[in-house]
Amino acid sequence: MLYGRSAEISALDEVVARARDGFGGAVVLRGEAGAGKTALLDAAAARGGAMRVLRTTGVESESDLAFAALHQVLWPVTGSLDALPEPQRVAVSAALGLAAGGAGDRFLVGAGVFSLLAEAAAPDGLICVVDDFQWVDRASADALLFAARRLGTERIAMLFAVRGDAAVKGVPLTVDVRGLSESAAAELLESRCGVPAAQVVRELVTLTRANPLALGEIAARLTRAQLTGREPLPDPLPGGARLFGDRVAALSASARLVALVAAVEADLDLVLRATDRLFAEQAVRPGESTGAGVGRVALAELEESGLAGVSGTSVRFRHPLIRSTVHEAAAPADVRRVHAVLAELTAGDRRAWHLAGAALGQDERVAAALVTAAERARDRGGYGAAATALARAAELTPEPSARAVRLKDAAVAAWLGGRPGQAESLLAEARERAGGDATLAMEIAQLRGRFELNSGNAAEAVRILAVGDTLDMLADAVEAASYVGDTAAIVELGRRAAAHPEGFLRDVVAGVGLTLDGDAAGPGLLRRALARTGELEDAAGYLWATAAASALGESDLATEMASRAGQVARVSGMTGQLPVVLEFVATAERIAGRLARSQAVSEEGLALAREAGYENTVAAHLANLAVLAALRGEAEPCERQAREALAIAIPHRVGLRAGVASYALAMLDLCLGRFAAAHDRFTAIAVAGPGAGHPSVVWRSAPDRIEAAVGAGDEAGARAALAAYERWSTHAATPESRALLARCRGLADSSEDAFGEALRLHTNPFEAARTALLLGERLRRAQRPGEARAHLRRAWETFEQAGTRPWARRAQDELRATGESGQAPPAPVFDALTPQELRIAGLVADGLSSKQIAARLFLSPRTVEYHLYKIYPKLGIGSRTELARLVVLQKAPVAEDDML
C-alpha cells in the first residue's frame, strides 16, 4: 500500500498511458534511499494492464561488469534478435555474450537495444523498469539511455529510479520522490503500529524528514507508550542514520557471514558454496556447525530476519542500505577473504574483480587479470567497464611504466565510452607516471591533443601535437591548426611533413601547407594525392581528400569526398567517429545546395555528438543548422543556434566553427536584403584572426561577401574581395569553382557575359539559381523584362523547391516587376516531410529495406515502418514502389547517397 503518492503515481501513469497509445517516453524517479522509489516502480508496472514488463536492478557488486544489467533486462526477449538489422543483431548478441566477436561501438549496441525493445513492445506495449540506476554498469546504462532518448514513436515506457544526484543523461522528465506529507505519514504509521499521537507523528516527520523507510523501521522499535505520547521519544531515535545496524548486529555470526558473502556476490549458488567453504576453514563460533550445508541454515536465519531473501537464483537485500550496513560492519580482512574465496569459485570477469577485491597492495597477477577483463569488455562495446577495469589494474600494477600504459589505455576506453572528463583525468595521471619513456610520452601527447581537439581548446591541441615528428602527429597537428584557422602553423607543419616519404597522407599534409605558403609544388602534391582516392578505405582518408580539394578551391570535389567519408563511416562498424564525420558531410550537402539533406545530417550529428561528449562537434552542427536557418529566413533559430555555437567555439579557439556561426548571421542579413549589415559582418569575418575566424570560411563566403558589398554600394570593397577570391581560386579547375568565380566577376564588373559564363558552368542547381536571380535583376533594371523573365522564373522555382523563402520572395517580386503575374510554382511535393522522413524516403528510393534503413540511421525497423506510414498519406501514395517513383519523378534532393 502506497501512502501520499498520488502525484507521483499520476505522473508515471501518464507516461505509461502515452506509451500504450504509441507515444513512448521515459521518466526518472529521483530520491534518497528509503523514499519509496521501488514501490512506485512496482505500482506503475502493475498498472500497465496487458503491457509487457521487463526489468533490471543495478547491483553495486556488479557495477563493473559490462552489460550485467542489460543481460538481465533483455534475456527474456533474446528470441527476437533475428528481427534486428544484422549490424545491430551482431552488436547486441556480442554484448550479451551470445556470439563471438566484437560488438562494435556503443552507438550500434544502443541502436540494437532500442530495436529489441521495440520488438518486445509488440503488440500491447512495453514497460521497461530500471531500478537503482546509480549502480547499473556503464555499458548497460549507455545502451538503455540511447534507447530512452528515441522512444517518441514506440509503445515503450522506460521508468528509471535513481538515488541522489546520479546523472541520467538525456531523460528530461524527472519526478522527485520526497518525504511524505504529515497526513500520509500518519496513515503509514497507523498501518504499521496502530494510531500514534499527532504530536508523535509531527516529531517523527521532523526527525526522519518523512522518509517512509525510516518511519517504518523506527516506529517498529518504539514502545506503545512512546507512540501514544505517554513517554517521550528516545534521543537519539533507535537506528539513527544507520537504520539496520542493530538488526545486522543481532544476527548470529554465521548469518552475518552469509550476509557478507551476499553483499559481495548476489548469485545464490555462489553464496552457498562460498559460505560452506568459509565455514569449513574455521568454526565461526565455538559449538557451531562447520560442515557442508551450514550456509543454508545461516541463509534461512537471514531470511527470517527480514533483511534479505532469495529471489530466483539471487540473494537480494530488502533495501540497498542493508547491503551497505553489512559491508561497513565487516572487518576489511574479512571482506578480502570473502573475495578470495569467491575468486576461487568464479571465472572470467567476475574472478578478475574478486581477485582485485582480495588484493592487499599491488599485484601484477591481479592487474593482468583485470586487463584481460577490460579487453573482453572492450570487444563487446563496453568501453566504460573497460576504462574502470584498466584504471583499477593500473592501481594494482607495481611497475611504473606498465602502470602509465594502462592508465593511457583506460583513458582511451573512457573517451570511446563518451566520458571525456574521466578520459582527461586518466591521461593526466598517465602523463605524470610516464617517466623517461619517450615513446609512451609521445603517445600520451597525441591522445591529449586529440582529446583537446574534440572537446577542448583547439589551439592547445596544436601546441601539444606540434611537438611530435611522426607523420601521424604532424597530420593531427595540421588538423588541429585547420580547426583553429592558424595558417602559419599549417604552413610550418606542412613543410615538416614534406620531409617524410611520399604517400597519400604526406602529400595532403605537405601539399596543404605548401599551397597556403604560395609554393608552386603544393598544388601538384594535392593533385597527386587526389589521384589516389580510389585506394582509400577509411573515413579519415576521405576527410583528408576533402581537405586537399578545399585547398585547391574546388568545393564541389570537396563535397564529393566528404560524402564518401560519410558512406564509409556508416558501414565501417566504427560509428563512434560518425559525429565528427557528419560535420563535414552536413557542410558538403549544404554547399552542394542539398539543404534538406544537410539539415537531416546535422540534426543526427548534433544528437550523436551530444551523446558522445564531443563539444566542438556540437558547435559544428549548431553552426551548420544556423546557416540553414538563415537561408530559410528564420531569424530566431539562426541567431539562437549561432550564439550557442559561438559560446563553445570562441572559448575553445575553434575558428572554423566560429567562422561558420558568424557566416550564418551574415547570411541572414544578406537573405533578408540587409546589405549594409551583411557587408559589415562579412568584412568582420574576413579580418577575424585564428580562433575567431578561418581562411576557409573567408574563401567560401567570398561570393556572398561580394554580393553584399555590391548591394551596399561598396564597389571598391567588392573589387578587393574579388581580387582575393581570384588568388584563392588560382588552382581551382572544376566547373562549379569556375562558375562561382565568373559570377563574382559579373557582380564586381557589371558583366552580363560573366553571368552568362557562370550559368553555362554551374553544376550546383542552387548556386545556378542565385546567379540567375542576379542576372535577372540586372536585366530587369536595364529595361529588358523579356530577357529577365526566364532567369527569374528559374530562380523562383528553384528557391521554392529548396525552401529558401527570402530568395524565393525576392525572385517573385522581380518577376512581377517584369509584368509576369503567373501562377506560383507548385509547392514541393516533399515539403510536408520532416528531415527524418526525407532521409527515409531517399533510402527507400535507393532500394533499401526497413532493416537496412534502420541500420543506417540507428533506428528500429518498426520506427522506420512507422515513418513510412506517416509519409504515405502526406504524399498521397500507398507503397514503397510509388514512393521510389515519386522521388525519381520529382528529382527531390532526398536521395541519401552519403548514407550508403
490-497: average pLDDT:
96
Residues in contact with 428: Cβ distance below 8 Å, sequence separation at least 6, in sequence order: none
C-alpha distances in Å from residue 546, one per residue of 509, 542, 568, 889:
12, 6, 14, 31
Alpha-carbon torsion (570, 576, 581, 585), positive or negative: positive
Q: Which amino acid is at 278?
A: L
C-alpha distances in Å from residue 705, one per residue of 395, 708, 710:
58, 5, 9
612 vs 173: which has the higher pLDDT: 173
849-860: average pLDDT:
86
Q: Which CATH class is domain 6-176?
A: alpha beta
Rg (CA), the chain: 33
Which pLDDT band, with edges at 50, 70 and 90, does 283 fall under?
Answer: low
Contact call for residues 54 and 201 (beta carbons, < 8 A): no
258 vs 843: which has the higher pLDDT: 258
Alpha-helix residue ranges (DSSP H) falling in 194-264 = 198-208, 212-219, 224-228, 245-249, 253-264
pLDDT tens per residue, range 538-570: 888 999 999 999 899 888 898 899 988 887 877
387-393: average pLDDT:
94
Which grid cell is 234?
A: 528516545
C-alpha distances in Å from residue 456, one per residue of 96, 415, 421, 445, 517:
34, 13, 10, 14, 28
Which pLDDT band, with edges at 50, 70 and 90, does 167 fall under?
Answer: confident
CA dist., res. 522 & res. 515, Å (int) = 4
Contact call for residues 572 and 538 (beta carbons, < 8 A): yes
For the purposes of burial, counting CB atoms within 10 Å of the CB of 215, is it exposed (0-12), middle (13-18) or buried (19 or more)?
Answer: buried
Contact call for residues 765 and 798 (beta carbons, < 8 A): yes
CA dist., res. 855 & res. 64, Å (int) = 29
Return the closest-CA partner of residue 211 out of 34, 41, 8, 5: 34
773-789: average pLDDT:
93
774-788: average pLDDT:
92
Alpha-carbon torsion (152, 153, 157, 160), positive or negative: negative
Which grid cell is 666?
A: 551574415
CA dist., res. 870 & res. 856, Å (int) = 19
3 state SS for 566-616: HHHHHHCCCHHHHHHHHHHHHHHHHHCCCHHHHHHHHHHHHHHHHHHCCHH
Return the closest-CA partner of residue 539 out of 576, 502, 507, 508: 576
Long-range contact pairs involving 198-204 (C-beta distance under 8 Å, separation at least 24): 199/229, 200/226, 200/227, 200/228, 200/229, 200/233, 203/233, 204/233
30 vs 415: which has the higher pLDDT: 30
CA dist., res. 365 & res. 107, Å (int) = 33
Pick the range with the lowest mean pLDDT from 9-13, 660-664, 782-786: 782-786
Pick the range with the lowest mean pLDDT from 233-237, 753-757, 867-871: 233-237
Strand partners, 28: 160, 174
Q: Which of 452-461, 589-598, 671-680 has the highest mean pLDDT?
A: 671-680
> Is residue 436 predicted with pLDDT exceeding 90?
no
Three-class SS state of 457: coil
pLDDT tens per residue, range 701-723: 999 999 999 999 999 999 999 99
Query: What backbone torsions phi and psi does residue 523 show, to the nearest 5 degrees?
Result: -60, -35
CA dist., res. 325 & res. 249, Å (int) = 10
Pick the range with the lowest mean pLDDT from 221-225, 483-487, 779-783: 221-225
Which pLDDT band, with edges at 50, 70 and 90, does 669 fall under?
Answer: very high
Which pLDDT band, with edges at 50, 70 and 90, does 523 fall under?
Answer: very high
How would you classify the pairing of strands 52-57 and 126-131? Answer: parallel
Q: Residue 130: enclosing H or E segment and its boundaries? A: strand 126-131
What per-residue confidence (pLDDT) applies to 894?
A: 39
Strand partners, 690: 693
Q: pTM of the prediction?
A: 0.82
Q: Which amino acid is at 498?
A: A
> Is residue 796 predicted with pLDDT exceeding 60?
yes
What per-residue confidence (pLDDT) applies to 112?
A: 92
CA dist., res. 409 & res. 780, Å (int) = 67
What per-residue confidence (pLDDT) applies to 672?
A: 93
Please calculate the CA angle 614-110-88 and round it to the nearest 5 degrees.
120
Which pLDDT band, with edges at 50, 70 and 90, does 892 fall under?
Answer: very low
> Is residue 576 predicted with pLDDT exceeding 70?
no
What per-residue confidence (pLDDT) applies to 897?
A: 35
Which pLDDT band, with edges at 50, 70 and 90, does 25 fall under?
Answer: very high
Pick the range with the lowest mean pLDDT from 266-270, 324-328, 685-689: 324-328
CA dist., res. 458 & res. 226, Å (int) = 67
Q: What is the mean pLDDT of the chain?
A: 89
CA dist., res. 743 & res. 69, Å (int) = 61
Which pLDDT band, with edges at 50, 70 and 90, does 374 fall under?
Answer: very high
> Is residue 47 predicted with pLDDT exceeding 70?
yes
CA dist., res. 597 & res. 113, Å (int) = 27
What per-residue confidence (pLDDT) applies to 646?
A: 97
Residues in contact with 741: Cβ distance below 8 Å, sequence separation at least 6, in sequence order: 725, 726, 729, 732
> Is residue 829 predicted with pLDDT exceeding 80?
no
What per-residue confidence (pLDDT) applies to 273?
A: 93
CA dist., res. 115 & res. 102, Å (int) = 19
What per-residue confidence (pLDDT) applies to 832?
A: 80
CA dist., res. 861 & res. 867, Å (int) = 10
83-102: average pLDDT:
85
Three-class SS state of 471: helix
Q: Residue 268: enclosing H or E segment and its boundaries? A: helix 268-281
Please calculate the CA angle 88-94-96 and round it to the nearest 5 degrees.
100
> Is residue 105 predicted with pLDDT exceeding 90?
no
How would you classify the pairing of strands 25-31 and 52-57? Answer: unpaired
CA dist., res. 353 & res. 366, Å (int) = 9
- Using CA atoms of 162, 168, 170, 175 in order, give the dihedral in degrees to the nearest 10: 20
What per-residue confidence (pLDDT) applies to 242?
A: 60
Q: Which CATH class is domain 829-899?
A: mainly alpha
Contact call for residues 810 and 796 (beta carbons, < 8 A): no
25-36: average pLDDT:
93
Contact call for residues 531 and 553 (beta carbons, < 8 A): no
With b for 16 or more beta-carbon neighbours within 10 A and e for fewer, the 49-75 pattern comes to eebbbbbbbbbbbbbbbbbbbbbbbbe
pLDDT tens per residue, range 338-355: 999 999 999 999 999 999
Angle between helices 438-455 and 458-465 (to 10 degrees): 160
What per-residue confidence (pLDDT) applies to 286?
A: 47
Three-class SS state of 418: coil
What per-residue confidence (pLDDT) applies to 899?
A: 31
pLDDT > 70 in the chain, percent: 95
Which pLDDT band, with edges at 50, 70 and 90, does 282 fall under?
Answer: low
What per-residue confidence (pLDDT) applies to 291?
A: 52
CA dist., res. 90 & res. 103, Å (int) = 7
Residues in contact with 480: Cβ distance below 8 Å, sequence separation at least 6, in sequence order: 449, 452, 453, 458, 459, 461, 462, 465
Which grid cell is 160?
A: 528509471
| Strands of 292-340, DSSP E | 308-311, 314-317
Alpha-carbon torsion (81, 84, 86, 87), positive or negative: negative
> Is residue 403 predicted with pLDDT exceeding 60?
yes
Q: Residue 488: enclosing H or E segment and its boundaries? A: helix 487-497
